[in-house]
Structure 1
Amino acid sequence: MKKGMTLSILPRRTMSWEEFVAMTPRNSVALDGVVSGGPRFDERTMHANFDHHDGVNRDATMSTCMQAYMAIKGGLMESFRENGMPCLNAFINDTDQDTAMAVWLLNNYKLFEGVQSLPHINRLLDLTNKWDITGGAYPINLDEEIVRQHCWIFEPYTDLRKTGKLSQADENMLRDNIEAVMKRLDMLLMGQAGGKTLDTRHEILYDSPIFKIVNEIGGNEARYHLYGKGMNAFISVVAQRTDGRHVYTIGRRSQYIPFPIQALYDDFNLAEGLTRVNGWSGSTIIGGSSREMGSGLSWQELVEIVKARLALD
């Protein structure tokens, strides 16, 4: 991180706004799920929360990286200062596309202040924003160059996620991971970004007119493909952890698709003896199994729970 900027990584940890303000210094920013409760700013303590997961209308709330970008444009670093010098302490609990992009933008804020504009960065930011808001559902031609660049830039993260190691990664592993992504963002900045052929491999484990159970062999890229083919709601098998437990994601295209994700979080937690604090949780359109513990339920058990909720035979 550049002078005046620090990055603290708290793997999979989530806290309240009050806890965050109490445990962190002035000029601290929580990113993408570290603090529950949605976007917030306290000008007395100089604490901010850039987030779009909890307590928000997901479809109508900017992604974390777009919130960071708009804050930079709005003069964030004119206020986040100590002894007249720039000072910002960023806190993250994961290294996904939205988080990494937000950290990179904050670290390079001088490039984006005022009327400055970098069209190639703006294109990546726009796609990252749309895909993160929608959990990968936003329709786009997957043959476009910006899509191949996006998937190449964030490949270190998606590779870690597919192995199942992300769900148990410690601070050092996550720091190495985000630094690898930020190096690729630096390459994009210099016009040296690579491109990636999308891995859309997948296996449909269960199919119905309402939802699918999908083994996302190709990770996020498989989901982009399936949404492009008309999928509206899903539960994906993301990975199997080294302890044998599963990592799942559940989602729907938007709030206009009648698939009761919020109720299903509670149904799955009831089956596992968990709560939304330590178990299944997320927004109104995308969420998943416990970041800390994963899930002990098989995908077949998930199917039966969903069918019971939907009153399907």
Structure 2
Amino acid sequence: MKPTLLVLAAGMGSRYGGLKQIDPIGPTNEIIIDYSIHDAIEAGFGKIVFVIRESFEEEFKELFDTKLAGKIEVDYVNQEIGKVPEGSVYNLEREKPWGTGHAILMAKECINEPFAVINADDYYGVEAFTTIVDYLSKSITDEENCMVGYQLGNTISENGSVSRGVCETNDNDHLTTVVERTHIEKLENGIAYKENEEWIQLAPETTVSMNFWGFTPKVFDHLEAQFISFLNTEGDQLKSEFFIPSVVAKVIKDGKTQVKVLKSDAQWFGVTYREDKEKAIKAIGKLIEKGTYPSKLWA
């Protein structure tokens, strides 16, 4: 059975002020997610599931239904504040869903096979998709998972802070812990993250998660159990977030799973900030010159 690709795209509308303003980076108006989908199809994924918001569902489907018709099976799920386990209580004044862990949980009913997770606005590289498909296509147990790990220095934006899951591994390249750092920046004296108004240095070669995870469907059980607990303790907060690295760290600590880190030295790029666009255009241009992609991706 071919693995599925789960694309976290629910935040696209708010980040770009509406889907019509999504920044094209390819020569024929391709956006970053187009290149990830192309790489996924070439690598051997059998289905793509998009996590989106109801507010731009129609617009989003117009963008992707036609270009992907006949190329790969496509499904959609919505991430909304009210989509929580039955009996859960939360602050009704909250305006946004609870982050990446909540987003993945939305796909529980439509994924029954090993699957990978990516952010919609990150570029991961061709080899990363091939590597994770190879892993997920093996006869793995329910509790064997993986992630593509990147070097921190290759994932920093020059235009502001970023969030990254900072990883620690053992000698067998299995993840021992991962901590979501929500404010990492490139400073004059190196890379550091901010915690309690203090800057703490990180080495450029530090392994970080870019939310390129590989899971079996068993992860949905862990997600749901932890999300119920999360809402019990933090559901009343307006800006609390349920991050997937935190979920993974807990199941590892509890001895319930293992996560193989598939390391990549690829240069990440994305459009976290509008100022990142020029760098992304140049990077795609170089890949087209090398023959990695055609100039018209969906010809």
TM-score range, shorter chain: under 0.3
Structure ranking higher on relative contact order (CA contacts 8 Å, 6+ apart): 2
Greater share of strand residues, 1 or 2? 2
Query: Whose helix proportion is higher, 1 or 2?
Result: 1
